[in-house]
Structure 1
Amino acid sequence: MRRPVATSVLSACALTVVVGGCAGADEAPSASTGGGTAAADSASPEAGAGELTARLVDPEGGEVGVATLTEVEGGTQVDVRVTGLPPGFHGFHLHAVGLCEPDSPSPADPSMTGDFLSAGGHIGAGEADHGEHAGDLPLLYVTEAGTGALTAVTDALTLDQLTDEDGSAVMVHADRDNYAHIPERYAPGGPDEMTRNTGDAGGRIACGPVEG
């Protein structure tokens, strides 16, 4: 299975791991800077490569960050910077519909309403359990200052797929994502349907339609 690769820096700058938001913790979001250097160095944008942008807003409509998606040699590079979000780890995904509306119905079940449900589920959610969705990305870490950054490269999606007829969206969730990796000693019958679909990442706190 193709998996995204991520590098960035924890708030103490002691480790190069999944997330970032250290030296530039007090800076405003910028589409030009990712969360780390290793992924960017190993998969630098190709000459003339396409680029897409998603401006992230909270349910009240306030802008809280920006994500840039760029074609690179290894696939699609996702760079995101956020500010003003709750500290901690957050689920971070690419969703199947490019529509970010607060208190909106789910395309799959109009009886369900909630913030940014208009963006549908993860890209590839109907093809595999969570952890193997094409839209699954590494966790985004937000520092105590409310800022975070992440750079990830995935070969599971192309820019063309992100700009299909119904578009796509970049999503930040309220809680961390367990990717449905639940050991059998905790759940002998395996993870339940909610966990398999969402990784228990909780509500949707920031969303941005992917645009050219």
Structure 2
Amino acid sequence: MRRVPTLSVLFPCLIPLVATGCGAEAPAAAPGGEVASESESADSDDELTASLVDPAGTEVGTVSFKDEEGALEVSVEVEGLPPGFHGFHVHAVGLCEPDSVNPANPAMTGDFLSAGGHLGGGEADHGAHAGDLPVLYVDQSGAGTLTTVTDALSREDLTDDDGSAVMVHADRDNYANVPERYAPAGADEMTRNTGDAGGRIACGTVEG
């Protein structure tokens, strides 16, 4: 009986051609044996980061911004900071200079004032700024972590012409939430602007 050659014998490249192209290399496997997709690679490449430094220039933490279904996932890790709750915000100017001038008020100087006010501050009171983020808790060892998701910020906000900066403040943030029983006339200007979060103890410019 005459034997008919199979397709794999006649066209040894046909089956691989359907999957990856004859002679083409298969996608590289990610750790654990899984094949990394092009979209996953693109996502990791698009992450924005900031290295937090104190006024002496010592690195005290890192912050990352990652796309998350129409929002941004913000992750922060710090060490070597004073224990307690700290105001944590995105500021409008990507410039972290110790003992610098406040761009909105040249008469004011101080650590990291070069980063300006909160991103999206405008006429809104603190608590409604796009750059207002949850407080960062630092434990007794000086370490702290925080992960949050916000749709108030966009990649374009963080990477506009003058950039942006992530800021850790000396004190906790009250988000200008001062009940009338404590202040019948309402929160004062400082509280409405910053939530009484105090001085700026760590700053990092956002970079792609």
The structure having more radius of gyration, on CA atoms, is 2
Which piece of structure 1 moves more, 68-77 or 201-210? 68-77
Match of 1:66 among 62, 65, 75: 62
1:161 counterpart SS class: helix
State the Cα distance separating 1:74 from its structure 2 match: 4.4
Determine if the alignment matches structure 1 residue 195 to structure 2 residue 191.
Answer: yes
Determine if the alignment matches structure 1 residue 121 to structure 2 residue 121.
Answer: no
Separation in structure 1 between the aligned mates of residue 157 and residue 178 of structure 2, nearest angstrom:
30
Aligned runs of 1:68-87 on 2, under 5 Å?
68-87=64-83
AA aligned to 2:119 is I
Structure number with the bigger relative contact order (C-alpha 8 A, sep ≥ 6) is 1
TM-score with structure 2 setting the length? 0.79
Q: Which residue of 2 aligns with 1:31?
A: none
Q: Which residue of 2 aligns with 1:168?
A: 164
The answer to whether the Cα contact below 8 Å between 1:102 and 1:114 also exists between their aligned partners in 2 is yes
The answer to whether the Cα contact below 8 Å between 1:91 and 1:139 also exists between their aligned partners in 2 is yes
State the Cα distance separating 1:125 from its structure 2 match: 1.1
AA aligned to 1:132 is A
State the Cα distance separating 1:97 from its structure 2 match: 0.2
Tell me, which stretches of 5 or more residues in structure 2 are unaligned? 1-38
State the Cα distance separating 1:208 from its structure 2 match: 0.1
Tell me, which stretches of 5 or more residues in structure 1 are unaligned? 1-45
Give the length in aligned residue pairs: 167
TM-score with structure 1 setting the length? 0.77
Separation in structure 2 between the aligned mates of residue 181 and residue 122 of structure 1, nearest angstrom:
17
Q: RMSD of the TM alignment (CA)?
A: 0.9
- Regions of 4+ moved over 6 Å: none
Q: Which residue of 1 aligns with 2:154?
A: 158
Match of 2:132 among 124, 133, 136: 136
